[in-house]
Structure 1
Amino acid sequence: MLDPIIQFIQGIFSAIGRGVGMVIAWILYPFLSASRWYASRGMILKAIVGLFLLLLVGIYGHFIWETQAWTGFNPDFVNDYKFGDRKLAAGADVPNADAAAPKKCQTSAIVDVAAGLIDMEVNQNSWISSMPTYKAGLFGLDWDSTPFLDNKASFQRGVNQTVRRTTIELVDTLARVRATSGVNRNLQDARQNMQYNEESWYISFSPFGFRTPTPAIYRQAITELRDFNKELGDCQVTFDGRADNLLQFLDRISNDLGNTSAMLKERSEKYNAGWFDTRADDRFWFAYGQMYGYYAILTAARSDFAPVIAEKNLGQLWQQMLGRFRAALNIQPAIISNGREDGWIMPTHLATQGFYLLNARNNLVDIRDVLDR
């Protein structure tokens, strides 16, 4: 009586086996054909092709290593700056017992962190998005459309978004007195350089021509940010740490996070294919990079705007907000799954990340409301 059921189940597994075999054969066919062609060639051609393949293996081996080795990655790296030891807000006069000594001012923690984030991206690591092997994709398919080797690039772009936003706000508000003073040249150059194309290499094919690679331009921004801080330390420029400037900065960050939240929500609702959603990982790691960068920037802002935060009694709320950002950075799954929110097999990492992001953003809005009173 059970024989028909057993035969039915065997038929299903047999069909699955044949299907898997056909897929494997289809994948291996080009390589088997190439190996037969290679075996029938002469020694000189074999040597040339062999050297080319060896070079290709070396190039892609280096590419794989660069995408998997995350040098300097540490969600708590901002603690190394010891901002808790700072007693003065950015731009404040530094007391000096020697009246004859040159006047000194407190440098900006935000500028220090922004320069440090760029340094991590282009000096401690390779900038993945502009590497030729990343731009070439997987057999012409964009790496972002695959589940492979794109996590670090997405993370870097997320961090880069925070630095771009920060340099814009430094130029427009934070380093100007009520927008009436002139724009600082170093910050203006840093902002311009951070807007540079994220995918530039030495040669561009659209349009064709020679270009400066992205990492070289971003390295210039590091120098310009640190030059501004040197000028600030010598009291030659200003950092305007008013409450309305902080409010506007938080508004811009909140808008950034709102856009990312919408991106996560759309992907989570419309493409919940679990582990088989090939674009879930780049969405997740972009959001993660953004949270990573803003956690550091906002920790630094607590030092730069210390008098405002104390005056508005925001210390506890600010710490709670930073705690929400830091909690989001604890989510580091090996494989990103975009499952249904009510699913019971495949997790929903995008929705989880979106939950933490919205919590942090809500805290930002609360702080903004206090500042606006």
Structure 2
Amino acid sequence: MRRIGAFFRRIGALLVAAVVWPFRAAGGASGRRGLIIKSGLGVFVLALVLFYATFFWRTEIWHGFNPDYVDSYQLSERSLPAGSKLPAAGDGSSAACQSSALVTVLADLVDMNVNQNSWISSTLAYRLGFFGLDWDKTPFFDNKAAFQRGVNQAVRRSTVELVDTLGRVRGTSGVDNNLQDARGNLQYDEYSWYFGLQPFGFKTPTPSFYRSAVKSLKRFNAELSGCNTVFDARADNLSQFVDRIANDLGATSAILRERSENHNGGWFDTRADDRFWFAYGQLYGYYGILAATGADFSQVIAQRDLTALWDETEDQFRAALAIQPAIISNGREDGWIMPTHLATMGFYILRVRSNLVEIRSVLDR
């Protein structure tokens, strides 16, 4: 009987093992699949963290930013207008002409935007947004992009004037090819990445076009230094250029006024920061552009007795660049808790614009 009982116990154990085995095998396979899934998920999360960490680093570290950058050009040491023939060296070398400080500043501003820094507006992380929400509609990580676009606006406006008036003798010379190329490249869409949906397909990213513009501007200056092209430093050209700058700043002032009057959200206005930093970037660019233009048109400015007014205008540009609040607030102008940084920036823009209008009126007499 004991043998028979032991036999049936062995048979029962085998049956139990046969029933349990598939579940144990499935559990082991599921555990391995779970480990693979967890590993893949971990790699994805790590890649996502690195992706946005790189984006945050690019937006928060500003290379080359210096409100006093104009001082590095030592413009006061330039004694001749752009395009003028320099005194002969006496060593038998070919004739040389004064290069354009304006073109140098333009090339350096673009270089700061796309070579010293990443062009934020066309990066993949910026295009994707904050969980689909446009970064400009958030209160963070969009200041540098807005600043860069403001600088680019000033550069674009200036290259248009270089092509149309400053870089040619009206009626007697054609458009300079280098300036034409620079203008065309700088007009390219500010938001293009390697791939886009409108139109669908692969694209050349924005920074590539802007880097080409830098090369074109430098080639123009090299040819101007060799007296192989022209820079027409006439009073009417300067008047028109100053008028274009004043109009450009006037449009920005209107944007600031509209936001300040109709969206008094104080520290909670999520669009105030990109409005502020676009205006700041525009003033930053025009500060160097105006200073360089003063050097290129030094003879006209001296003849029209504009030196004091021109210097005062530059000082006002620099005073505006001293406004660098940590958090942009769009409070009411008569409020007593939250400041109104947009109205303050608008005030400085109007001061600068008023001086530019006065300079233009003197030049037009």
Instruction: State the TM-score, normalized to the length of structure 2.
Output: 0.90
Identity of aligned residues (%): 64
Specify the SS of the correspondent of 1:123.
helix
Instruction: State how far apart, in whole Å, the 2-side matches of 1:97 and 1:290 are.
Output: 39
Matches within 5 A, 1:220-259: 220-259=212-251
Structure 2 residue 322 is the aligned partner of structure 1 residue 330: yes
Q: Deviation string for 1:82-140 (max 9, x for gaps)?
A: 11111111000000142732010000000000000000000000000000100111111
Structure 2 residue 334 is the aligned partner of structure 1 residue 366: no
Q: Which runs of 5+ in 2 are unaligned?
A: 1-30
Instruction: State how far apart, in whole Å, the 2-side matches of 1:342 and 1:331 are.
Output: 20
Q: Match of 2:101?
A: 109
Specify the SS of the correspondent of 1:331.
coil
Q: Match of 2:148?
A: 156
Structure 2 residue 68 is the aligned partner of structure 1 residue 68: no
Structure 2 residue 197 is the aligned partner of structure 1 residue 213: no
Matches within 5 A, 1:269-288: 269-288=261-280
Instruction: State how far apart, in whole Å, the 1-side matches of 2:156 and 2:290 are.
Output: 14
Matches within 5 A, 1:1-373: 42-98=34-90, 100-373=92-365
Specify the SS of the correspondent of 1:209.
strand
Q: Bigger shift: 246-255 or 199-208?
A: 199-208
Q: Match of 1:30?
A: none
Tell me if the contact between 1:127 and 1:215 (Cα under 8 Å) persists in the aligned partners.
yes
Supply the AA of the counterpart residue of 2:122. Answer: S
Tell me if the contact between 1:121 and 1:156 (Cα under 8 Å) persists in the aligned partners.
yes
After the TM superposition, which segments of 4 or more aligned residues of structure 1 sit over 6 Å from their partners? Answer: none
Instruction: State how far apart, in whole Å, the 2-side matches of 1:224 and 1:183 are.
Output: 14
Larger Rg: 1 or 2? 2
Supply the AA of the counterpart residue of 1:319. Answer: D
Supply the AA of the counterpart residue of 2:168. Answer: R
Instruction: State how far apart, in whole Å, the 1-side matches of 2:316 and 2:92 are.
Output: 46
Q: Deviation string for 1:210-259 (max 9, x for gaps)?
A: 11110111000000000000000000000000000000000110110000
Tell me if the contact between 1:173 and 1:179 (Cα under 8 Å) persists in the aligned partners.
no
Tell me if the contact between 1:261 and 1:358 (Cα under 8 Å) persists in the aligned partners.
yes
Rate the CA distance shift 1:152–1:353 in 2: closer, same or farther, 3 A: same
> How much does 1:180 deviate?
3.4
Specify the SS of the correspondent of 2:210.
helix
Q: Deviation string for 1:167-201 (max 9, x for gaps)?
A: 10000000111243100000000000000000011
Specify the SS of the correspondent of 2:201.
strand
Specify the SS of the correspondent of 2:152.
helix
Instruction: State how far apart, in whole Å, the 2-side matches of 1:242 and 1:88 are.
Output: 13
> How much does 1:55 deviate?
0.4
Instruction: State how far apart, in whole Å, the 1-side matches of 2:172 and 2:47 are.
Output: 57
Q: Deviation string for 1:119-165 (max 9, x for gaps)?
A: 00000000000001001111110000010100000000000000000
Q: Match of 2:17?
A: none
Specify the SS of the correspondent of 1:84.
helix
Specify the SS of the correspondent of 1:180.
coil
Q: Bigger shift: 289-298 or 98-107?
A: 98-107
Instruction: State how far apart, in whole Å, the 2-side matches of 1:206 and 1:144 are.
Output: 20
Specify the SS of the correspondent of 1:70.
coil
Specify the SS of the correspondent of 1:330.
coil
Specify the SS of the correspondent of 1:204.
strand
Instruction: State how far apart, in whole Å, the 1-side matches of 2:214 and 2:360 are.
Output: 29
Instruction: State the TM-score, normalized to the length of structure 1.
Output: 0.88
